[in-house]
Amino acid sequence: MMSKKSIPRKKPKKKTLKKGRVANGNGAEKYILWLFVTGILPNSALAILNIKAICEKYLKGRYELEIIDIYQQPSMALTEEIIAIPVLIKKSPLPEERLIGDLSNIEMVLKVLNLV
């Protein structure tokens, strides 16, 4: 009669994200974006429209966008050392990146977000 031998099974490796990266429910990286604007000035309004459209098309379900009006929250602008408006800051995934302007150059935005 043959004896049964246990075959050791390897535990599946857990996916861990590097420091500064945030996972959403399905394991994909979540993008944390801050857009600094000035009230309803044309360039700021256009930047808001553009980043919302880009996020919905390329990051649907895996981004968090915070729109920060420097007139309403001047301390955040000081803390982040904002010198030009509008400016998009990609906080996560690292490295942090900044892009100044109305975000109408989709190719440039995708490059900053590391999506191309």
Q: For residue 45, what are its two tokens?
A: 């309004």
Cα(106)–Cα(116) distance, integer angstroms? 11
The CATH number of the structural domain formed by 27-112 is 3.40.30.10
DSSP structural state of residue 25: T
Residue 10: pLDDT band (50, 70, 90) is very low
- Show the beta-strand stretches assigned E in the chain: 22-23, 29-37, 63-69, 87-92, 97-100
Domain ranges of the chain: 27-112
Cα(11)–Cα(6) distance, integer angstroms? 15
Q: Determine the straight-line distance between the first and last CA of the chain, rounded to whole angstroms.
A: 61
Is the confidence at residue 20, as pLDDT, over 60?
no
- Structure confidence by residue, pLDDT tens digits, 40-95: 899 999 999 999 999 999 999 999 999 999 999 999 999 999 999 999 999 999 99
